[in-house]
């Protein structure tokens, strides 16, 4: 019989969640609160983000299981949450420098972003299958709306609808998988699920695999892994670019963190099969993402497929199913966030929110050399070329895979690294080598904040490419429980 203790004391362990909860209310009701209507929402939202970040930072280093083992607060969840706040802050910066979104709905947009933030924090803390569903849905539903908000392209509504349908489909499959897991074991707690699965008479039978894979469906949907990636290129292309940037980093990272936590409690006897499942998904995702990106002519679609292939690389780090793998996935995620945000900010600036064809970037080295060099550094880093941070991330992922002896996975990842170089270099070539026909676009109306931001992203990328000790030490602090 479960003792009915009050759950209120648990709330003191999740201050950031509370802050976001209040923020959601404030932002959605803002237009009805007298006096608040005329305040700038950006300032309030930035304050909220800072408050959230600081509370997460101040939490010390304890680990606690909350709400009857539904949420787990530990250094793992804290580091990822801090990352989310930073990423959302950058998204706000992008929104300020971009006019694809309607300014009059800023309150609502920030409310939606707050909801996503709360959902992501739940995803990183979830230790119960239903909590996982709550977290994923809290992130997905507002994202559907955010994708539709591009006032330049009417296709954004169509993309959003694809996203909604696909997302519901994936969540449906996941719920069915969860029900199968419950049927097999009688528990929904991750901690007791895996031992129960290993001990159950159905261990190793097809139903065992089907249940796990179906549950993975919802999570793969969030990280856009194959075969649940179909929504990704369309949604990324049609969404307002700040939202694309946000989607390509934050929910993806949350999804990966969730998958790592999902598999964390597995029993050693299961590790070989689970590794095989994840390796297979990783290989297919990497390959499909890279080869599809080769033919893209739109920069946002190209980065969408590139983010799909990066999810594949990160799954490689998850496939080794050990602590070291998880730490180096965090390492790569930090660098990935830097590279991707830098690249998207550069796109926002160089495209001026209008023309996203790669051709339209031709010859921009002559007009905006600093921005183009910063963008080039981000792109080379995405390709995994030394001496940039992206290479170090890939190096560590190769390292954990070879340590475990997954030769096929390492070989596939290696080939994919080389293939990916081609499309990144294609963009760089257009900017630096090609001659521009027609006039150079006029950048005088744009502020130079994006240029500063891209340089601020490029510098750590180069530094981490040469001396990455501080980040390794940071990753070593990230562990579960």
Partner 1 sequence: MMDHILSWVVFLPITVIPILWLLPANKAKWAALFITIVDFIVAIPLFTGFDRLKVGVDDLAGMQFKETLEWIPSLGIQYSLGVDGISITMILLTLIIGLVAVLASWNIDKLQRGYFAMFLLLQTAMLGVFVALDLILFYLFWEVMLFPMYFLIGVWGGPRRIYAAIKFFLYTLMGSVGMLLAIIAVWYYAPGGERTFNIIELLHRVQEGGTFVGPEIFGMPFAKVVFVAFFIGFAIKVPIFPFHTWLPDAHVEAPTAISVILAGVLLKMGTYGFLRINFPLFPEVFVWFQDFLVALAVINIVYGALCALAQSDLKKMIAYSSVSHMGFVILGIAAATTQGINGAVLQMFNHGTITAMLFLLVGVVYDRAHHRRIAGFGGLASVTPVYAAVTSIAYMAAIGLPGMSGFISELLILTGSFKVYQLPTIISGLGIIFGAGYMLWAYQRIFFGKLNPDYQDLKEINFVELCSVVPLIIITVYLGLLPNRIIVFFETSLNYLSEIL
The contact set with partner 1 (CB under 8 A) reads 380, 385-387, 391, 395, 398-399, 402-403, 405, 407-408, 410-411, 414-415, 417-418, 421-422, 425, 429, 432-433, 466-469, 472, 476
For residues 107 and 406, which CB has a smaller minimum distance to partner 1 in the complex?
406
Find, among 205, 206, 207, 181, the residue nearest to 195 by Cα: 181
For residues 21 and 426, which CB has a smaller minimum distance to partner 1 in the complex?
426
Q: How far is the CB of 343 from partner 1 (least distance, A)?
A: 17
For residues 224 and 283, which CB has a smaller minimum distance to partner 1 in the complex?
283
Q: List C-alpha distances in Å: 465 to 158, 200, 249, 340, 403.
A: 40, 47, 20, 16, 22
φ, ψ dihedrals at 134, nearest 5° = -60, -45
Is residue 70 within 8 Å of 13, Cβ to Cβ?
no
Q: How far is the CB of 96 from partner 1 (least distance, A)?
A: 30
Residues 6+ apart with CB under 8 A from 350: 361, 364, 368, 371, 372, 375
DSSP state of 435: P
Find, among 177, 45, 61, 49, the residue nearest to 121 by Cα: 49
Is residue 356 within 8 Å of 364, Cβ to Cβ?
no
Q: How long is the chain? A: 481
For residues 339 and 410, which CB has a smaller minimum distance to partner 1 in the complex?
410
Q: How far is the CB of 416 from partner 1 (least distance, A)?
A: 9
For residues 459 and 476, which CB has a smaller minimum distance to partner 1 in the complex?
476
d(C-alpha 117, C-alpha 150), whole Å = 21
Q: How far is the CB of 386 from partner 1 (least distance, A)?
A: 4
Q: List C-alpha distances in Å: 298 to 48, 243, 351.
A: 35, 17, 11
Q: How far is the CB of 408 from partner 1 (least distance, A)?
A: 8
Cα three-residue angle 436-442-447, rounded to 5 degrees: 130
Q: How many CA atoms lie within 13 A of 206 on its CB side?
A: 0
Q: How far is the CB of 313 from partner 1 (least distance, A)?
A: 13
For residues 146 and 412, which CB has a smaller minimum distance to partner 1 in the complex?
412
- Specify which residues 73 forms β-bridges with: 64
For residues 60 and 405, which CB has a smaller minimum distance to partner 1 in the complex?
405
Q: How far is the CB of 366 from partner 1 (least distance, A)?
A: 9
Q: How far is the CB of 305 from partner 1 (least distance, A)?
A: 18
The helix or strand, by DSSP H or E, that contains position 418, with its residue range, turns out to be helix 407-432
Q: How far is the CB of 264 from partner 1 (least distance, A)?
A: 22
d(C-alpha 39, C-alpha 308), whole Å = 39
For residues 92 and 319, which CB has a smaller minimum distance to partner 1 in the complex?
319
Q: How far is the CB of 462 from partner 1 (least distance, A)?
A: 11
Is residue 405 within 8 Å of 320, Cβ to Cβ?
no
For residues 141 and 283, which CB has a smaller minimum distance to partner 1 in the complex?
283
Number of helices (H) and strands (E) in the chain: give both, helices first.
18, 2
Is residue 389 within 8 Å of 259, Cβ to Cβ?
no
Distance, first Cα to last Cα, the chain? 26
- Specify which residues 357 forms β-bridges with: 298
Q: How far is the CB of 418 from partner 1 (least distance, A)?
A: 5
For residues 11 and 433, which CB has a smaller minimum distance to partner 1 in the complex?
433
Find, among 90, 61, 94, the residue nearest to 76 by Cα: 61
Is residue 89 within 8 Å of 343, Cβ to Cβ?
no
For residues 224 and 471, which CB has a smaller minimum distance to partner 1 in the complex?
471
């Amino acid at each position: 019989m479960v003792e009915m203790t009050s759950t209120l004391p648990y709330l003191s362990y999740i201050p950031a969640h509370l802050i976001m909860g209040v923020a959601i209310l404030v932002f959605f009701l803002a237009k009805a609160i007298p006096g608040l209507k005329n305040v700038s929402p950006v300032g309030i939202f930035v304050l909220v983000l800072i408050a959230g970040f600081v509370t997460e930072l101040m939490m010390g280093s304890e680990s606690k299981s909350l709400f009857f083992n539904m949420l787990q607060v530990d250094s793992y969840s804290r580091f990822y949450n801090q990352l989310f706040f930073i990423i959302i802050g950058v998204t706000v910066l992008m929104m300020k420098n971009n006019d694809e979104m309607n300014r009059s709905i800023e309150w609502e947009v920030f409310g939606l972003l707050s909801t996503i933030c709360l959902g992501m924090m739940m995803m990183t803390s979830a230790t119960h299958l239903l909590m996982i569903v709550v977290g994923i849905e809290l992130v997905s539903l507002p994202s559907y709306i955010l994708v539709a908000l591009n006032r330049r392209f009417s296709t954004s509504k169509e993309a959003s609808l694809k996203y909604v349908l696909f997302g519901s489909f994936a969540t449906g499959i996941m719920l069915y998988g969860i029900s199968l897991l419950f049927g097999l074991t009688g528990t929904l707690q991750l901690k007791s699920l895996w031992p129960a699965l290993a001990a159950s008479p159905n261990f190793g039978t097809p139903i065992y695999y089907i249940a796990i894979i179906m549950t993975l469906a919802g999570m793969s949907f969030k990280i856009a892994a194959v075969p649940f990636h179909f929504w990704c290129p369309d949604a990324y292309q049609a969404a307002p670019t700040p939202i694309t940037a946000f989607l390509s980093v934050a929910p993806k990272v949350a999804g990966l963190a969730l998958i790592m936590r999902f598999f964390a409690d597995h029993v050693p006897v299961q590790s070989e099969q689970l590794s095989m499942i994840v390796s297979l998904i990783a290989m297919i995702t990497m390959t499909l993402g890279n080869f599809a990106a080769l033919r893209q002519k739109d920069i946002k679609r190209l980065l969408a497929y590139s983010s799909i292939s990066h999810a594949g690389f990160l799954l490689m780090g998850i496939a080794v199913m050990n602590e070291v793998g998880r730490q180096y996935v965090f390492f790569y995620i930090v660098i990935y966030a830097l590279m991707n945000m830098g690249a998207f900010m550069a796109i926002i600036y160089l495209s001026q929110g209008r023309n996203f064809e790669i051709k339209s970037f031709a010859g921009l080295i002559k007009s905006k050399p600093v921005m183009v060099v910063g963008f080039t550094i981000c792109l080379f880093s995405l390709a995994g070329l030394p001496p940039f941070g992206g290479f170090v991330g890939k190096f560590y992922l190769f390292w954990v895979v070879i340590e475990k002896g997954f030769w096929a996975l390492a070989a596939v990842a290696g080939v994919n690294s080389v293939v990916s170089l081609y499309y990144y270099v294609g963009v760089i070539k257009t900017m630096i080598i090609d001659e521009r026909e027609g006039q150079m676009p006029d950048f005088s109306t744009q502020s130079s904040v994006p240029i500063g931001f891209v340089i601020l992203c490029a510098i750590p990328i180069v530094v981490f490419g040469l001396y990455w000790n501080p980040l390794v030490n940071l990753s070593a602090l990230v562990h579960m429980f």
